[in-house]
A and B are shown apart, each in its own frame.
Chain A
Amino acid sequence: MQTLTAAEAGLISCHVCHALACRPTNSHGRIECPRCGAHIHSRIPGSIRDTWCYLIAAIVLYIPANVYPIMSVVWLGKGEPATILEGVVQLIEEGMWPLALIVFVASIFIPLLKMVVLAFLLISVQRKSTWRLVDRTRLYRLTEFVGRWSMVDIFVIAILAALVQFGSLASIEPGIGSLSFAAVVVLTMFAAHRFDPRLIWDACND
């Protein structure tokens, strides 16, 4: 298959409206999309650096997110704080298998998968790897699509906190862990957004 990328043809594709604009020969600094006015660039500037920054911040915050309790159930004045993992174990002990699975996948599996995949993609791009380009692009699309679903646990805590308000009898309070966990989700979403999958394919054009 004969292939020509937009960059090789001297064109820039707008990431917002997908219009193809010609790259000006005397371009200093920012170029605007002729159709929608967004700042356009052949590749996201500083993509690898920025993605690493968001990713490292997410990895660091992932530790307190798992060590500290994300939620405590205060029952008759006694608090029962639980971390993400303890929450999953509790659900299994109570026999709620499907719920345990949802929480496990959304809160433990997806964030870990996302961070590992992004680190792998970044390293492979930096090493200019030409290994399984299509699969790596698919992997990127998967992480980008699936990342938002980690918010489930945060929403569950918010709903429970709003609903279980029985004063001294019972109440549910979010813990420090939930703050770090929310930050991890947001940061990995930023990281995935900042990563430019076209860099994967540039390795085979060099």
Chain B
Amino acid sequence: MTNSYNTTLIACHDCDLLQRLPAIRSPGKVNCARCGATLQRYSRNSLDRSLALAVSGLLLFFVSNLLPFLALNAQGRVQDSSLLSSSMILWQEGNIFLGLLVFATTFLFPLFSLLAILYLLAPLKFGKRPRFSIHVFRYLQSTEPWGMLEIFMLATLVAVVKLGDIATVIPGPAMYAFSLLIVVLAALSISLDPQLIWHRLDRQCKR
């Protein structure tokens, strides 16, 4: 590209105010001077930490989806369920829109973001630039609000308490993996520094 762009200045995405970024990147947030929006978030060892968290996140994701999640014991009859079965049941009963929505928000988007982070960060760690990196990172950033695993966690708690009166709820092994996954994903979103990744992608691009 011949067009140039400025990286020492930043415009606030909420109020468009131009401001100079601090030269020293110390861990923490930089907020907009006018409206208070978070402009940038720095974390120490962002690349290494995010990579480690994404690897553990992916492992936990597979464990949570492959093992039984919850079981219900109502007067001797036991009903098993996995994470994916909630969207499958909706789909089978003809609620295609709801089934797709639950499938996308609890499986597709979270899996995509974990894979995308690994795909981008692993090569960057070794100074290489993966193919289609810019497209992948762009999609990663725009699909971020649609991964809703932490909301699903809250829903699980609500459902378990709701059923507690009628039947015995037995948490499966996937339940523990899933709880850990939520923690890992939260840590990942804090440690990931999009500005750093753009910067790295830039540097690789210039020869």
Contacts and interface: CB of A to CB of B under 8 A. Distances in A.
A and B associate in one complex: yes
Interface of A: 1, 3-7, 9, 11, 13, 15-22, 33-38, 91, 94, 96, 99, 102-103, 133-134, 137-138, 140-141, 148-149, 151-156, 158-166, 169-170, 173-174, 178-179, 182-183, 186, 189, 193, 197-198, 200-202
Nearest to B79: A165
Nearest to B139: A16
B3 A22 contact: yes
Nearest to A96: B161
- The range of chain B's interface size is 35 or more
A5 B154 contact: no
A156 B158 contact: yes
Centre residue among A13, A103, A134 by max chain B CB count within 10 A: A13
Given A37-B138, A148-B151, A182-B97, A22 B79 contact: no
Given A34-B1, A138-B36, A161-B86, A5 B18 contact: yes
Nearest to B6: A20
Interface of B: 1, 3-7, 9-11, 13-18, 33-37, 39, 70, 72, 74, 77, 79, 81, 85-90, 93, 95, 97-98, 101-102, 105-106, 134-135, 137-138, 141-142, 145, 148, 151-152, 154-156, 158-159, 161-163, 165-166, 194-195, 198, 202
A139 to B, nearest CB: 11
B135 to A, nearest CB: 8
A35 B138 CA distance: 11
A182 B162 CA distance: 21
Given A16-B142, A37-B134, A179-B98, A94 B165 contact: yes
Contacts of B138: 16-17, 36-38
Contacts of A99: 158, 161-162
Given A103-B158, A134-B35, A182-B97, 19 more contacts: A1-B34, A4-B17, A5-B11, A6-B11, A11-B11, A17-B138, A17-B141, A18-B13, A133-B35, A138-B35, A141-B14, A153-B155, A155-B152, A158-B90, A159-B155, A162-B86, A179-B97, A198-B16, A200-B15
